[in-house]
Amino acid sequence: MVAISVLDLVPVVEGEGPREALLKSTDLVRHAEALGYTRYWVAEHHNMVGIASAATSVVIGQLAATTSRIRVGAGGIMLPNHAPLVIAEQFGTLEALFPSRIDLGLGRAPGTDQLTLRALRRSPMSSDSFPQDVLELQALFAPAGPNQAIRAVPGEGLNVPLWILGSSLFGAQLAAELGLPYSFASHFAPDALMQALAVYRERFKPSEQLATPHAMPGINVVAADTDEEARHLATSLQQRFVGMVRGARGKLQPPIDDIEQYWSPAEKAHVSGMLRYAFIGSPETLKRTLGAFVRETGADEIMITAPIFDHDKRKRSFELVAGIASELGR
């Protein structure tokens, strides 16, 4: 049985604001915990009206406080936007409050546009030091040495598992070299997935944190009681990706009856490529399609995101996936 986890982009839907999105996420994380999901991550995005998790560590604290067992973390923190010391202190604080429940996924991209990057007071060159920043973060989480000048308090000596996130071979190589678990962003950038997984497994070096490779691809999953309903619900996801192509990132839109009238043939081709690993359908359909993906990738774990407009239908989607979890990958 493959482990299944949740990536919540904390979507702000049309007609609502960030408060409603955050309250829905606190409800959804309790639902995911009751259904037996392994971990629940939120991601750092800035200057996006449709995503409410910009203050990622603050959101994680609330999600952890409203649950008791499920692992909660970042998928991820965009490390070029931050000093490693600050992240060590933030996630050290979370680990001190919620022991053995906090994950820290690290990304190399800024998670925003160049104008917003300047507003964050960061340089476009900050990502060049990503490998060194990861090593610095590891050192800050290690037990403090004698006369150590810079210490993360809370943070030092705490077990906060680091993950490397990526959508290219760079992250796969770094995760392998450092012996860290690896999550590939195939939910929006699928092209290099299979090659990245192969590189990660071939080059993996055991570490104190991890003895063998652990790969977790991210995917979109929209489940409903029927294939027809699932396809209808998935038009919200498709509209979001068309918006990305058009350079118009807005709030999550309600589903529509005819997506063919919404996108152009070129947009359809582009979005369909980006959503290559979007699994849409009834439980019976997902047993086949999602099960084949698990077997093909050899994933140790999958992380699913479900941009569904209606909150109750979104909860139902996660419920249906949990119901077939034991049958995936057989």
**What was the pLDDT predicted at 123?**
73
- Domain check: are 141 and 225 in the same one? no
**What was the pLDDT predicted at 114?**
77
**What was the pLDDT predicted at 111?**
59
pLDDT tens-place string over residues 37-50? 999 999 999 999 99
**What was the pLDDT predicted at 192?**
95
pTM: 0.96
- Domain check: are 152 and 246 in the same one? no
Residue ranges of the chain whose pLDDT lies below 70: 110-112, 330
Structural domain for 68, as ranges: 1-160
Q: Evaluate whether residue 29 is within a structural domain.
A: yes
**What was the pLDDT predicted at 219?**
98
The CATH number of whichever domain residue 51 belongs to comes to: 3.20.20.30
- Domain check: are 262 and 134 in the same one? no
pLDDT tens-place string over residues 92-140? 999 999 999 999 999 997 656 778 778 877 777 777 789 999 999 999 9
- Domain check: are 258 and 155 in the same one? no
Q: Evaluate whether residue 197 is within a structural domain.
A: no
Q: Evaluate whether residue 30 is within a structural domain.
A: yes
**What was the pLDDT predicted at 330?**
58
- Domain check: are 229 and 97 in the same one? no
**What was the pLDDT predicted at 153?**
96
Q: Evaluate whether residue 109 is within a structural domain.
A: yes
282: buried, middle or exposed (CB in 10 Å: 19+, 13-18, 0-12)? middle
In the chain, DSSP finds a helix count (H) and a strand count (E) of 12, 9
Q: Among residues 120, 140, 160, which one ends one of the domains?
A: 160
- Domain check: are 151 and 9 in the same one? yes
Outline where DSSP puts E strands in the chain: 3-8, 39-42, 71-78, 102-107, 162-166, 182-184, 215-223, 278-281, 301-305
Report how many domains make up the chain: 2
- Domain check: are 132 and 221 in the same one? no
**What was the pLDDT predicted at 110?**
65
